[in-house]
Structure 1
């Protein structure tokens, strides 16, 4: 018996548009419009979950999904970098950014390290029940970690996985034996 997971990255926000660390911002107007266009395009699911973040809840609601909040799907905690752009942080703290990008157990921002995020997502994947389809509305970092876990890929590959807003990634299998079916498939046609 195998399960199916559809991981949906939330639609666009001011942070995704400016390459900023998320700060629990809502969808922007463009993101809300995309969600409206995508309504009804996801396959039916037995289980629908969402990150507690406003952008994820709004994405789920806009897609017509009755989702249950799942804390394990929360975004990567950027600590004191929350709301700042990567360029701003790199200019102010170049050594900290270098450590964050190159050392998986580093968390110079006081938030969650890459290793902790990957472990959290892998642990969540181990809880997915057999023989059901789960839709999970979450964040690009969580989707990237799910892909890494499914492929048993090195954490260094995290930065090579592109997960745009309002895309779907499909996994199939069972806890500990996931197969990647598709990655970051747009739910709407857009010109960006």
Structure 2
């Protein structure tokens, strides 16, 4: 059985513009406008199931794209950065440079008392493996780090590659295949 999963990265938000660790901020005006433009242009992939990262930004992106009836999926939640949530990377780097360096170098490290990159990759990969049990298409509106984690795992890349994958807002990354054997088509912009 072959499944297709279309990962749509959420529209831009103030937190993303500021390189701030997710703090639940909504999509900004330009992000909503871009998502609506994509919907009007018919650029949004159709699917049988709609999964969402459980964030305000992903819910608003899905609505602006004209996608309805989505299910918040806990396994597709953002990377838990613990006590760094709401701070910018520059702020945390200034206050805890050794901790940030360790976190960026060691995928098993979680100096912020949250989740390690390795644990995060494991969590989102479990949901991808579950998608393999469904015939047809799944559309998932997710945070960029979810796309990064799945790209790393699908390609069998080492976990430090997580930091080398850029995922722009409102792009589609398509995975097709089955558990343990996925093909990747990345970075198609919606607008």
Which TM bucket (shorter chain)?
A: over 0.9
Report the counterpart of residue 84 of structure 1 in structure 2.
87
Offset, 1:19: 0.8
Partner Cα separation in structure 1 for residue 25 and residue 63 of structure 2: 16
Report the counterpart of residue 2 of structure 1 in structure 2.
2
Q: Secondary structure at the match of 1:35?
A: helix
Partner Cα separation in structure 1 for residue 62 and residue 167 of structure 2: 17
TM-score by length of 1: 0.94
Alpha-carbon contact 1:48-1:134 (below 8 Å) kept: yes
Equivalent position to 1:120, from 116, 120, 123: 123
Report the counterpart of residue 66 of structure 2 in structure 1.
64
Offset, 1:14: 0.6
Report the counterpart of residue 150 of structure 1 in structure 2.
154
Alpha-carbon contact 1:21-1:86 (below 8 Å) kept: yes
Count of residues in Structure 1 that have an aligned counterpart in Structure 2: 187
Partner Cα separation in structure 2 for residue 159 and residue 184 of structure 1: 16
Partner Cα separation in structure 2 for residue 166 and residue 106 of structure 1: 30
TM-score by length of 2: 0.95
**Which is worse superposed, 152-161 or 135-144?**
152-161
Report the counterpart of residue 143 of structure 2 in structure 1.
139
Partner Cα separation in structure 2 for residue 184 and residue 88 of structure 1: 30
- Confirm or deny that 1:179 pairs with 2:183: yes
Structure 1 residue ranges, 4+ long, deviating more than 4 angstroms after superposition: none
- Confirm or deny that 1:20 pairs with 2:24: no
Unaligned runs of 5+ in 1: none
Equivalent position to 1:96, from 84, 93, 99: 99
Q: Deviations over 1:88-137 (max 9, x none)?
A: 10001000100110111111111110011010011111101332110000
Q: Deviations over 1:128-167 (max 9, x none)?
A: 1332110000011110111111111110111111101111
Alpha-carbon contact 1:162-1:184 (below 8 Å) kept: no
Unaligned runs of 5+ in 2: none
Alpha-carbon contact 2:79-2:145 (below 8 Å) kept: yes
Equivalent position to 2:164, from 143, 153, 160: 160
Alpha-carbon contact 2:8-2:142 (below 8 Å) kept: yes
